Amino acid sequence: MLLEINHLEKVYRTRFSKEETRALQDVDFKVQDGEFIAIMGESGSGKTTLLNIIATLDKPSKGSVLLAGKDITGIKERKLADFRLKNLGFVFQDFNLLDTLSIRDNIFLPLVLARKSHHEMESRLQQLAPSLGIEAILNKRPFELSGGQKQRVAIARSLISNPLLLLADEPTAALDYRNSEDLLSLFESINDAGQTILMVTHSANAASHAKRVLFIKDGRIFHQIYRGNKTNQEFSKDISLTMTALLGGD
């Protein structure tokens, strides 16, 4: 089992009062190596809080998160950055690329921080770039690229360190329909090659590219559905129906 979320709770308390906000309540699920899972829920449901805890950007109030058998909630603060570099890849909606660096150097950044040799960086990039279709833009700067190209670069940067888990937070939110479809097809290809992906999204269309969808409501797992042999279009309809039930309280 690659990832185990065990009875996770997250409670936020205001500094000068006893008021509590319960963002997550007894969240419990497992992720097999090689799965592609989408997490959905209305705004404020707890899905981003859950992703932040898995990403070690936040800590739970109760429960545990095991990645490859290691409880990551107990990692000391000074060791978290190194842990993320070695085990996690991140793709965000706003790309987070540095305009002062070339595309090649943006992609290399995690390996620079991990103190890998330039030879190893180039070797990994040569294996990765063709599959992402970015060979022709490696010497450009981020401001010269389209949104779709920027997101491909962000994916390359997230994969260059061979992470155990790729975490994506609304990765299609800043893209138009065509670039969104290209990106999601790319995610499917990456997943088919063995990469485990956990993606937070508000889009039924985006979620339909995953193999399983978890729905969160009021900080709890409300329901989950599997794609199985369904087409993306068929699965998207199931997802939309489930979201309607979630919003309606049925």
Given this model, what pLDDT does residue 249 score? 57
pLDDT of 4 over the 60 cut: yes
Q: Contact 17/212 with Cβ under 8 angstroms?
A: no
Residue 2 binned pLDDT confidence (cut-offs 50, 70, 90): very high
Sorted by where each begins, the domain ranges of the chain are 32-56+76-248
Query: Is 202 in contact with 247 (CB distance < 8 Å)?
Result: no
Using alpha carbons only, what angle is made at residue 21 by residues 17 and 24, rounded to the nearest 5 degrees? Answer: 150
Q: How confident is the model at residue 154 (pLDDT cuts 50, 70, 90)?
A: very high
Asked if 156 and 162 count as a contact pair (C-beta separation under 8 A), the reply is: no
Q: Is the confidence at residue 250, as pLDDT, over 60?
A: no
Q: What is the DSSP string of 177-243?
A: HHHHHHHHHHHHHHHHTT-EEEEE-S-HHHHTTSSEEEEEETTEEEEEEE-TT--HHHHHHHHHHHH
Question: What angle (nearest 5°) sits at the alpha carbon of residue 124, between those of residues 121 and 128?
Answer: 130
Q: How confident is the model at residue 19 (pLDDT cuts 50, 70, 90)?
A: confident
Q: Has residue 20 got a pLDDT over 90?
A: no
Mean pLDDT computed over 94-114: 93
Instruction: Give the H/E segment covering residue 168.
Output: strand 165-169
User: Nearest 5°: phi and psi at 208?
Assistant: -65, -15
C-alpha to C-alpha distance for 119 and 107, rounded to whole angstroms: 14
Superfamily of domain 32-56+76-248: P-loop containing nucleotide triphosphate hydrolases (3.40.50.300)
pLDDT at 142 over 70: yes
Tokens of 126: 């040569």
pLDDT reported for residue 16: 73
Tokens 């690329």 belong to residue: 97
Which candidate, 238, 246, 194, places its Cα nearest to that of 212? Answer: 238
Single pTM value for the model: 0.93
The secondary structure of 41-79, three-state, reads CCCCCCHHHHHHHHCCCCCCCEEEEEECCEEHHHCCHHH
Angle separating helix axes 147-159 and 118-132, nearest 10 degrees: 130
Averaged confidence pLDDT in the chain: 93
Q: What is the mean pLDDT of residues 157-182?
A: 92
- The pLDDT value given to residue 40: 95
Enter the tokens of residue 215.
């729905």
What is the rounded (10 degree) CA torsion for 192, 197, 201, 206? 0
pLDDT at 15: 74
Q: Read off the pLDDT of residues 117-130 as tens digits, 9 standing for 90 and up.
A: 999 999 999 999 99
